């Protein structure tokens, strides 16, 4: 076990203000693998002060130079790809292949995309007799989750830096090790002292202190809708800008003309990836009544293949929560066709890949975010009913539509109340805006829309 000490503040590792530590547990074997300091309001204050002091210099840095630092950051992340993947596997439990391709690969791509955007974006524009300036919003407080621990940090820090903002990151307590590794790459990339700061700590202590700090101009939070509401209330009360990426209960709509086998298999893979710990996972599969039985059979067979290839959930609390939802689904009358609440292994926070059939829209498993490898398959009679079911939750983060033609799928997708829709299995695009309608959030991440979250406008009249 390794005892890490210090917070990354003002370009250096500094002793934490208090003696408390957080134990980092490997969810695959339940062993403590490291400790990190549990930050206090004092640590957060020091980090915010450092970010404030660094702000004028970084904001005045030419965009081309900011782009060069982001490119160097991308290169440092690339150089440490294997170390990043191994770290995420140890603290999150993700299978190593997933850690290499997604947990390490996606943040590298995102950092690269912002290096290019910082260089290309026009921070000035003309409108009539006015010049409009796009200026950095200031000091950003970034509170990040454990499910994609490095991606979520980079998706906030990279656009903030491109915009000319400085940042204080408070990573999730379950996955602080890859955040520390990120801080090392910031140092190696030659990003000036105080521009990026890192405080590890518990949400109700360090996260709360960051949210309430008067020196923070924008709060960017990714996590549950319940915590997001609290963060939003604090930010609104203090008239801070806020960006919230929250929960989801995304619909995977398979229209009768679609390639059913492909749509079902890709849909199951989407839900099981990262052990279902993905806010945008397509956890509701909607299938026409005439194809329903075949789809259920295909989904059960696809889920059964995951067996040993799926990682554990992040901690014991999450494991209990997901098992509780599976038990609730059975109690509500849904039919279990794969998996179940029993743990598939003696050790580790594992949950079996689970598929429910005969799910109706009002059931908890069709309305609430489970955040585990659990798929609900619902039937519909016609397109209007499919649309009602798809739009019939408080969430609106992502979704998918499958149809025989792109035009048919797009026509349906246009009517969905959700922030992102994949058409016939469309690929992830780091330049596309990601974010939700309804209770799935406020604002967007990634691409140019992600950059503009960190800018404010000033107009000069001539």
Catalytic residues, which ones?
245
Length of the chain measured in residues: 462
Instruction: List the structure tokens of 370.
Output: 């489970």
Element (H, E) at 32: strand 31-37
Q: How far apart are CA 96 and CA 250, in angstroms?
A: 26
Element (H, E) at 365: helix 364-367
Q: How far apart are CA 39 and CA 213, in angstroms?
A: 14
**CA nearest neighbour of 272 among 338, 325, 335, 333:** 338
Q: In the sheet that 196-198 helps form, which strands lie side by side, from edge to edge?
A: 12-14, 7-9, 196-198, 166-170, 139-143, 218-222, 241-245, 441-442
CA distances from 62 to 58, 67, 268 (A): 9, 9, 46
Point out which residues pair with 13 in neighbouring strands: 8
Q: Write the Ramachandran bin of 190: left for phi over 0, alpha for psi from -120 to 50, otherwise beta.
A: left
Task: Yes or no: say if 396 and 275 are a contact pair by the CB < 8 Å rule.
Answer: no
Q: How far apart are CA 274 and CA 373, in angstroms?
A: 8
Q: How far apart are the first and last CA of the chain?
A: 64
Q: How far apart are CA 70 and CA 191, in angstroms?
A: 8
Q: How far is CA 432 from the centre of its chain?
A: 14
CA distances from 280 to 47, 59, 277 (A): 32, 33, 9
Please report where in the chains the tokens 């009360």 appear, as a residue: 237
| Residue 314: Cβ within 10 Å count | 26
| Residue 81: Cβ within 10 Å count | 16
Classify residue 440 by its DSSP letter.
Answer: G
Beta strand ranges found along 52-199 (DSSP E)? 124-127, 130-136, 139-143, 166-170, 196-198
263 backbone dihedrals φ, ψ, rounded to 5° = -60, -40
Point out which residues pair with 399 in neighbouring strands: 251
Instruction: List the structure tokens of 5.
Output: 């000490």
């Amino acid at each position: 076990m390794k005892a890490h000490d210090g917070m990354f503040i003002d370009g250096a590792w500094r002793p934490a203000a208090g003696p408390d530590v957080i134990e980092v547990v490997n969810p695959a074997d339940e062993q403590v693998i490291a400790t990190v300091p549990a930050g206090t309001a004092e640590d957060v204050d020091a980090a915010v002060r450092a970010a404030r002091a660094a702000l004028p210099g970084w904001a005045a840095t030419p965009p081309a130079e900011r782009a060069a630092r982001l490119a160097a950051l991308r290169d440092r992340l690339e150089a440490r790809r294997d170390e990043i993947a191994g770290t995420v596997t140890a603290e999150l439990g993700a299978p190593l292949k997933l850690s290499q391709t997604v947990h390490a690969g996606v943040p590298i791509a995102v950092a690269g995309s912002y290096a290019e955007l910082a260089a290309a974006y026009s921070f000035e524009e003309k409108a009539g007799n006015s010049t409009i300036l796009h200026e950095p919003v200031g000091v950003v407080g970034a509170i990040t989750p454990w499910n994609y621990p490095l991606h979520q940090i980079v998706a906030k820090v990279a656009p903030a830096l491109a915009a000319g903002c400085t940042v204080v990151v408070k990573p999730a307590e379950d996955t602080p090790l890859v955040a520390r590794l990120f801080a090392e790459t910031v140092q190696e990339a030659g990003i000036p002292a105080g521009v990026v700061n890192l405080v590890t700590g518990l949400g109700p202590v360090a996260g709360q202190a960051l949210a309430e700090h008067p020196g923070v101009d924008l709060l960017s939070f990714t996590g549950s809708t319940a915590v997001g509401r609290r963060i939003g209330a604090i930010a609104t009360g203090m008239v801070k800008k806020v960006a919230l990426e929250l929960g989801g209960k995304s619909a995977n709509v398979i229209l009768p003309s679609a390639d059913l086998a492909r749509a079902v298999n890709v849909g199951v893979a989407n839900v099981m990836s990262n052990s279902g710990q993905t806010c945008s996972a397509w956890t509701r599969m909607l299938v026409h009544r005439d194809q329903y039985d075949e789809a259920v059979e295909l989904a059960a067979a696809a889920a059964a293949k995951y067996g040993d290839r799926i990682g554990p959930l992040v901690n014991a609390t999450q494991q209990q929560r997901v098992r509780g939802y599976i038990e609730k689904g059975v109690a509500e009358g849904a039919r279990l066709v794969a998996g179940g609440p029993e743990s598939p292994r003696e050790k580790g926070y594992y949950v079996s890949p689970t598929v429910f059939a005969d799910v109706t829209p009002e059931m908890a498993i069709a309305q609430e975010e489970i955040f585990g490898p659990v798929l609900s398959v619902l039937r519909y009679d016609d397109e209007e009913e499919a649309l009602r079911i798809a739009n019939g939750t408080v969430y609106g983060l992502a979704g998918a539509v499958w149809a025989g033609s792109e035009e048919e799928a797009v026509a349906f997708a246009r009517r969905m109340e959700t922030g992102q829709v994949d058409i016939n299995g469309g690929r992830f695009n780091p330049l596309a805006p990601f974010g939700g309608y309804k209770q799935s959030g406020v604002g967007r991440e990634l691409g140019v829309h992600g950059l503009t979250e960190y800018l404010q406008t000033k107009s000069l009249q001539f």
